[in-house]
Amino acid sequence: MGITKITRNNQVTLPAKIRKKLGVKEGDYIEILDVNGVITIKQLKNERKVIVLGKKLRLTPEEIENIITKGMKECMQ
């Protein structure tokens, strides 16, 4: 499906076809398994919990990250 190179830091880039097939994007987690000498890559479902702040405010980690990113962008302007 694709050829990739191991970098100086022992990192690899998943080819676009593999990323699309797995449905993974930046920040997602994958599991790399060795099954009888065959390396497989498995997408991990990233079930993140909702954070409850008080009685009415519920935020997902993604919402918190978006708020932080927005605030950082506003500070840079």
pLDDT tens-digit series, residues 36-52: 999 998 888 766 666 67
CA angle 40, 41, 47 (to 5 degrees): 140
Q: Do both 15 and 36 map to the same domain?
A: yes
Instruction: Give the C-alpha separation, 19 to 43, whole Å.
Output: 10
* Burial annotation 34-72 (CB, 10 A radius, 16+ → b, else e): eeeeeeeeeeeeeeeeeeeeeeeeeeeeeeeeeeeeeee
Range(s) of the domain holding residue 69:
48-77
Residues 74 and 55 in one domain: yes
Q: Tens digits of per-residue pLDDT, 45-76?
A: 766 666 677 777 878 788 888 888 888 888 87
- 8 & 38 share domain: yes
- The vertex-12 CA angle with 10 and 15, nearest 5°, equals 170
| Same-domain pairing of 36 and 57 | no
pLDDT by residue (tens digit) across 13-35? 999 998 898 888 887 888 899 99
Residues 3 and 39 in one domain: yes
Q: Within this chain, do residues 27 and 37 fall inside the same structural domain, yes or no?
A: yes
pTM, 2 dp: 0.50
